[in-house]
Structure 1
Amino acid sequence: MKAYVFPGQGAQFTGMGKDLYDNYEQARTLFHKANEVLGFDISKIMFEGTAEELKETKVTQPAVFLHSVILARVMGTSFKPDMVAGHSLGELSALTAVGALSFTDGLKLVSERALAMQEACEMQRSTMAAILGLPDDTVENVCKEIEGTVVAANYNCPGQLVISGDVPAVEMACEILNEKGAKRALILPVGGAFHSPLMEPARERLAKAIDATEFEKPMCPIYQNVTTLPVTATDDIITNLIYQLTAPVKWTQSIQEMIKDGATEFIEVGPGRALQGMIKKIDREIEVSQAAV
């Protein structure tokens, strides 16, 4: 069975999507539509912008979404997933690619999500850190013992867990985890504590936008970050999407569930190859590849 997976923030690069724009009329139409919906020329930033410009939250999330969704559209009938999943932001790309959201509604939600997260980041100094080389339960237990807010945020693959919270708590966790033998405990260059309780204001703002959006039944099950289980009912999709901002991204568990349910090949749709690397660390026998047209 074929599983298609969609990357999240951090996969962006200068020039992303330019080959699609140059070679496919459908891609050009969708990029022009995106510029119109967002109210600024995102395609120009994607094709020619600097790394700094692409890092702006209002640009990054829509850019990664557009690259993934337009690639899936251009693939046409060769895009035939038996199941899908998306890493964080990638969940909205996946939902749009499998028809649960229209292109315009998906893009509007991604833009609102980016702005809501940026607003929440500005309310409190917060950050994230990658912890490498320790068991998940060791990291979880250290987070529980620390004063302040620090939680496990991204279960990327065995031995790679990202934590998230207020700056002093994350720094303290890194110090203790280094003492416990972490290969690395690295503060990440992000603007805030994504997938933690500090994103509650963003969750509330995004919930209003999601509630006002029409969802359809997807063409195949989506394994959502919050539950890791296959979902097709729109009510469940909506609930999980709303809580995703304050809940951890259970990527390892989602991939394991997909393999248990019959996935034999994982195809990454969008910029970068980060998800393929993570999947290989979850199960080195599984086949991974990059979507192409």
Structure 2
Amino acid sequence: MRYAFLFPGMASQREGMGRDLAERWPEARAVFSQASAVLGYDFAQKCFYSPLNELTSTQEMRLLTMFVVSVASLRVLEGAGLRPAIVAGASGGIFASLLAADAIDFAQAVRVLEQRGRLIASIPPEKRGSMLAIITANEEVMQQVELIGGEEKAHVGLYNSPTQIVFAGSDEVLRRVRERVRGLRGVYIPRPERFSVGNAHHSPLLMVIQEQWCELVNTMTIRQPRIPVLLSGFNEVTTDPHRVREALLDLNGGAVYWRQSFSRMLEEGYRLFLEVGPCQTLTKLASAWKTPHTALPCGTVAEIEAVFTHLSEKQAA
């Protein structure tokens, strides 16, 4: 049975995430201990017990929690003998996907992500911008939405699904887009706190840290991935470490083509997708595709045990 591991980006946050994994499985607990050793403080304590507003407002924690919790889930799945045929990460989820493909080291990724968080936090508040999710089930309306965004000079940062895109830009630009889009029939705009990322990620506004980010990425040792990696920033499947580095360098200003990437996996015959990380973000997005497939979350003890049951039943059938 061929299946894909999907790794969510940094907008997926909840209080206490990862705590039940660490309490249930020693391999998950070891991941949090390793992160604490690298960072020099009790990362597990911060991750498990910080209020949600601290997790989402502190850039270093926002990036690190998603990565470490995803890796904890990954180690549990690996411990059960699950081996994907392909891995894909949305936005910052690229780091966990590369770790799953044994292309990067855990300790180095933790240090780079912490420093990336500090770089993003250094951007003056008035220059950070924000992001705006737009949802509609009508493809023609979605085309109108994208046209409006272009007219208002908003950048499409995330092509999330056939029914959802996310604009990135200055607060004023996004305000204008919001007001114009509200006049379209069948458009839903989630409340701002539903997509709280704090900056205009995947847009020209984040290029102010590009020079320092390039220096960071170029310190990383990147090996040839042992399994194919789908780079959602390029909608490209690769095992080329040079292409992987280019995708990491593009993480600030480049858009995320998750819609196109997920469609590509479906076209290549993948029908079982396991979201390795908290909050079910990619699992929920997968429901927008009508091609028969199964997407299952793997971010809690209950979810992972349900996946084990599902796979056992599939093998027995």
Query: Counterpart in 2 of 1:259?
Result: 266
Which secondary structure does the structure 1 equivalent of 2:70 belong to?
helix
Query: Counterpart in 1 of 2:301?
Result: none
Length, aligned pairs only? 291
**Alpha-carbon distance in 2 for matches of 1:267, 1:10:** 18
Query: Counterpart in 2 of 1:193?
Result: 200
Query: Counterpart in 2 of 1:138?
Result: 144
Which secondary structure does the structure 2 equivalent of 1:131 belong to?
strand
Deviation at 1:203, TM superposition (A): 2.9
Relative to the length of structure 1, the TM-score reads: 0.92
Q: Which stretch shifts more, 42-51 or 191-200? A: 42-51
Aligned partner letter, 1:75 = L
The 5 A counterparts of 1:48-127 are: 48-55=49-56, 56-76=58-78, 78-120=81-123, 122=125, 124-127=127-130
**Alpha-carbon distance in 1 for matches of 2:30, 2:149:** 47
Q: Which stretch shifts more, 283-292 or 54-63? A: 283-292
**Alpha-carbon distance in 2 for matches of 1:125, 1:66:** 25
Deviation at 1:162, TM superposition (A): 0.7
Query: Counterpart in 2 of 1:168?
Result: 172
Which secondary structure does the structure 2 equivalent of 1:120 belong to?
coil
Which secondary structure does the structure 1 equivalent of 2:235 belong to?
coil
Note if contact 1:17-1:47 (Cα within 8 Å) is conserved in structure 2.
yes
Which secondary structure does the structure 1 equivalent of 2:287 belong to?
helix
The answer to whether the aligner puts 1:184 opposite 2:188 as a matched pair is: yes
Query: Counterpart in 2 of 1:7?
Result: 8
Distance 1:246 1:53, change over 3 A: same
Deviation at 1:284, TM superposition (A): 5.0
**Alpha-carbon distance in 1 for matches of 2:231, 2:91:** 9
**Alpha-carbon distance in 1 for matches of 2:104, 2:277:** 18
Query: Counterpart in 1 of 2:28?
Result: 27
Q: Which stretch shifts more, 16-25 or 163-172? A: 16-25
Note if contact 1:72-1:79 (Cα within 8 Å) is conserved in structure 2.
no
Aligned partner letter, 1:255 = F
Aligned partner letter, 2:69 = H
Which secondary structure does the structure 1 equivalent of 2:91 belong to?
coil
Aligned partner letter, 2:221 = E
Q: Which stretch shifts more, 245-254 or 6-15? A: 6-15
1:164-199 CA distance string (max 9 Å, x none): 101111111111112233522354433211110001
Relative to the length of structure 2, the TM-score reads: 0.86
Which secondary structure does the structure 2 equivalent of 1:281 belong to?
coil
Note if contact 1:64-1:270 (Cα within 8 Å) is conserved in structure 2.
yes
**Mind listing any 5+ residue stretches in structure 1 that lack a counterpart?**
none
Distance 1:150 1:40, change over 3 A: farther
Deviation at 1:69, TM superposition (A): 0.8
Note if contact 2:29-2:72 (Cα within 8 Å) is conserved in structure 1.
no
Aligned partner letter, 1:92 = F
Note if contact 1:113-1:202 (Cα within 8 Å) is conserved in structure 2.
no
1:180-237 CA distance string (max 9 Å, x none): 3352235443321111000102333222111111011112111112211101100001
Note if contact 2:149-2:155 (Cα within 8 Å) is conserved in structure 1.
yes
Which secondary structure does the structure 2 equivalent of 1:16 belong to?
coil
